[in-house]
A and B are shown apart, each in its own frame.
Chain A
């Protein structure tokens, strides 16, 4: 059970949160101009890294806010947490 430092509420138990997959995949602004392959890349392709991964998390049973997390998937160490729209920290 992680202890997650919600950027809006502070430290809370993991059970209040929902994981939302890989972060920094922006929805294309003009989807109709993409080829099937380009659209499929956005729609389906996700990394599954052993190591440092950038993820989206949602404080679902709290403030309902989405934020980003940098987590090492090999030992679940949370390296950084930052708000949506903020730049990811340099690795």
Chain B
């Protein structure tokens, strides 16, 4: 049955442009300008989803972003699918598909609907109470809960769309383009403020744009007509940028706001490609004017959630703006005059209104007389006690309210209807205001939370500031604009407003029924299925804080954050607990105001741009030669170079042997390099390293160890003295940026008197490290003129040289224990240098090796790697590196801490070597070390930090930190593993060439 409920045409709907779309597999038609919600309503489809917990049928409730029920899966099964989208915000386009969520097999017949009948067994805190025991069963429960919970389905394929970020700066940001926002933006821009106006909908004008109520006039015109002219004038104003389909998601401190601009969601698939779908605007505004309006409140009564029950204001918008009748037998239920405006709107369009149920005793405004004249029956002092109709409302029952509003009396009247508009008053949309860090105050008369203050940087205007009537809005807006913008005149000074609206309102948070509360279902949070009785139960169980009640009952925790029902939840808590609403406070409104896509949040930082890698100038060679890579900080470093299908172990054994037997070459470009210059450079190094630097001759290199002020090893590396006042410091690959930061900190804040300048040159140089007994011969081939004799170029020294025309720095330093050279060239010559070395080394079977072999070779020598053998708790003494700590220097960073009682303890963990009794067993790094096997619990003495099979020693070697290890040389210890205990012996950590004879070989 496809009924057509389209009424008189609307200027916002283009009836010449017919659009077909699918909902739950069925094809429907709508027009350009429709939302999915308005198009469905025009086809008399109210049932669009099932509720989260009880799987109750639910319909479209609102016409905006506050929608709790009509959340759908858009374009299901495609790579553009998106869950939890509000049907009220989806603009339809040819080919749009959408489907209901949280139902199986279909929204019409949903197995989960059984939960509705089981609802007495699902009270607040059901999951907490039920699945707590036995604790071991949680995994089994979880499997079923996970399957039955969850609203939409996330996409399983890559998002084809492009997202973008943009920084925006403006003098004045106006949020919301209703009457207040438009007038605020207009006056700001006219007074030379660079102004940005953002509106979440595609049309400007808010609710005033369809306000044709004959009793309200602005300058003798209908408000809609007047506002249209104002909007027309915006086009000619300089300094004003308007962004529609743009929703402010977050309002942070210092007027920093995030907004999502929707660019292609309303377009057909063919028009979406290669365009930016959504853009995140990062807005810095000098002043923010919030004109976010107000949300209509529902009323809380028994079975208030059936499809066909909607907000009164939504019914009005569907009729006036979209030209759609939401029902053919309409009834309104209200506590204020708003519903009468909706009723008149329907009446004027020829849509049948059966009756208005008003909980007030009476109201005298002109609009009520008009309703009476229209022959619409009004039931004063009545309340709805029940509704019927499972998948669509078909009748309501009303009874007379007692004077105090806590009970109902008299006989029940049943009214047949297919649509019920509820009007419970208005809630100012203060979400963004509170996000900015400001507090709310409760207005006892209006029963609303309002912004507590307006500042020079931020004001709330219009209904979000508590003004609901057009005359109040314009008067207060005018004054606030003058104060905030510091202007004398505005366009609002001479506006004449005539209105007829009564403020009279009777507020009852929870309406009574003839049945006891326990037998009723008055929903407060529609999306999460929290009812008034859940809230009362939480209070009975002792919850008092609003934040606790929220979490226990899940009220306000859906994707809509309870935009409709939160106020009622607060009201019910206040009434029940006997406290004032102002004292109770509100729950915290958190960003985003409406959900954001992940795409919008990450913008362009996807794929290879998600986390940027750094690559060395030689990277292409490594790739061509099939290197495996490892991540070191942000760097991609060659890990090992497997040939002929070698495993990592095989490749590393081969590389290690080659480096010691003939020649190996390592890309060391990633090491941090800091250029240090200034007349106090030597003194500076004295203060930051543990050893002495004053006597280092020009052209010599020295290894240095850097501590934190707490005495723990922080970084290490070789520093070369290039000139009298010029040093080149190297740092660990991962520590480079932090070391530079730390050194700058000391220079600027503790020792500003030192004449020292630091420059990071890590990226400026490429480094090839050549090692092995044949390395000298290879260097000789590349730089024939250089004197490589030990006398002229000894270990730990440096020379400038030229390879062809390329200027280079060669350091004779070694991290492998072999005779070796590090050649530094300008980064752009890095690959060229590398290829020259490989070419020259061919006759010596030069073998490129990666970080794994480097680690193995240095472990054979007992050289530490900061961050692997140390963990921020190791002093140089713990590392048995006493030799590098100067006793003569008066001070250096961390010195005093080496004499603290704790750092001087003898039983600290100390670095030692470990040899397995069975030389073929390689220990696992991180494995724990004990001295007793048959004791429980047993003290953990330490752990293995580095472990390898040494091809040069033909046995397993390991470094470890062991409590009191220094004095344990030769002691037998145990490494207990899952299936076996490994016997180990404490050894000297220098396993290979203890006398360093190979350095000069």
List chain A positions with a Cβ less than 8 A from chain B.
1-3, 13, 18, 20, 26-28, 30-32, 34, 36, 39-40, 43, 56, 58, 60, 64-66, 75-76, 84-85
Contact = CB atoms under 8 A, between A and B. Distances in A.
Interface stretch (B407-415, B625-633, B896-904): B896-904
B895 A1 contact: no
Given A1-B253, A3-B284, A64 B896 contact: no
Contacts of A36: 900-901
13 contacts: A1-B252, A13-B284, A20-B745, A26-B750, A32-B899, A36-B900, A43-B709, A64-B744, A66-B744, A66-B749, A75-B437, A76-B437, A84-B749
Contacts of A26: 750
Interface string B739-763: 0010011001110100000000000
B897 A2 contact: no
B748 A66 contact: yes
Contacts of B741: 18, 58, 60
A34 B186 CA distance: 67
B901 A2 contact: no
A79 B302 CA distance: 54
B891 interface: yes
Contact of B895 (A32, A58, A66): A32
B254 interface: yes
Given A32-B896, A65-B748, A84-B749, A2 B710 contact: no
Given A32-B890, A58-B745, A3 B256 contact: yes
Nearest to A27: B750
Given A1-B256, A3-B284, A85-B752, A31 B745 contact: no
Given A2-B253, A34-B896, A76-B437, 20 more contacts: A1-B252, A1-B256, A18-B741, A31-B891, A31-B895, A32-B896, A36-B901, A39-B896, A39-B897, A39-B900, A43-B710, A56-B749, A58-B741, A58-B745, A60-B741, A66-B745, A75-B437, A84-B748, A84-B749, A84-B752
A26 B750 CA distance: 7
Interface string B942-957: 0000000000000000
B605 to A, nearest CB: 14
B254 A3 contact: yes
B745 A2 contact: no
A65 B890 CA distance: 28
Interface in B249-279: 252-254, 256
A32 B186 CA distance: 68
Contacts of B744: 58, 64, 66
Nearest to B891: A31
Interface string B710-753: 10000000000000000000000000000001001100111010
A43 B897 contact: yes
- Among B710, B752, B896, residue most surrounded by chain A Cβ atoms (within 10 Å): B896
Contacts of A1: 252-254, 256
A54 to B, nearest CB: 13
Contacts of B745: 20, 58, 66
Contacts, number: 54
A82 B326 CA distance: 63
Contacts of B895: 31-32
Contacts of A43: 709-710, 897
Contacts of A32: 890-891, 895-896, 899
A58 B895 CA distance: 25
Question: Which 10 A/B pairs are nearest by Cβ-Cβ distance?
Answer: A31-B896, A1-B256, A3-B254, A66-B748, A27-B750, A39-B896, A1-B252, A76-B253, A66-B749, A84-B749
- Among A1, A20, A75, residue most surrounded by chain B Cβ atoms (within 10 Å): A1
A13 to B, nearest CB: 8
Nearest to B895: A31
Contacts of A60: 741
Contacts of A27: 709, 750
A85 B748 CA distance: 9
Contacts of A65: 748
- Among A3, A43, A56, A76, residue most surrounded by chain B Cβ atoms (within 10 Å): A43
Contacts of A20: 745
Contacts of B891: 30-32
Interface string B75-117: 0000000000000000000000000000000000000000000
A5 B821 CA distance: 47
A36 B897 CA distance: 9
A30 B752 CA distance: 17
Contacts of A30: 891
A73 B256 CA distance: 18
A65 B744 CA distance: 8
B747 to A, nearest CB: 9
Contacts of A2: 253-254
Contacts of B709: 27, 43
Contacts of A85: 752
A1 to B, nearest CB: 4
B163 to A, nearest CB: 19
B889 to A, nearest CB: 10
Nearest to A23: B749
A20 B890 CA distance: 27
B282 to A, nearest CB: 9
Contacts of A76: 253-254, 437
Interface in B894-918: 895-897, 899-901
Contacts of A18: 741
A45 to B, nearest CB: 13
Contacts of A31: 891, 895-896
Interface in B383-403: none
A74 to B, nearest CB: 10
A75 B896 CA distance: 38
A3 B257 CA distance: 12
A85 B900 CA distance: 30
Nearest to B741: A60
Nearest to A2: B254
A18 B891 CA distance: 28
Interface string B423-460: 00000000000000100000000000000000000000
A85 B749 CA distance: 8
- Among B437, B710, B744, B749, residue most surrounded by chain A Cβ atoms (within 10 Å): B749
Contacts of B749: 56, 66, 84
A58 B745 CA distance: 9
Nearest to B254: A3
Contacts of B901: 36
B437 to A, nearest CB: 6
A1 B710 CA distance: 32
A10 B495 CA distance: 43
A28 B741 CA distance: 21
A76 B437 CA distance: 10
Nearest to B253: A76
A27 B749 CA distance: 9
A17 to B, nearest CB: 12
A60 B737 CA distance: 10
A84 B750 CA distance: 10
Nearest to B747: A66
B96 to A, nearest CB: 37
A20 to B, nearest CB: 7
A64 B254 CA distance: 23
A27 B890 CA distance: 14
B350 to A, nearest CB: 53
A85 B741 CA distance: 19
Contacts of B750: 26-27
A1 B257 CA distance: 9
A1 B252 CA distance: 6
Nearest to A26: B750
A35 B665 CA distance: 50
A87 B767 CA distance: 46
A43 B745 CA distance: 16
Nearest to B752: A85
A75 B252 CA distance: 12
A13 B748 CA distance: 22
A36 B750 CA distance: 21
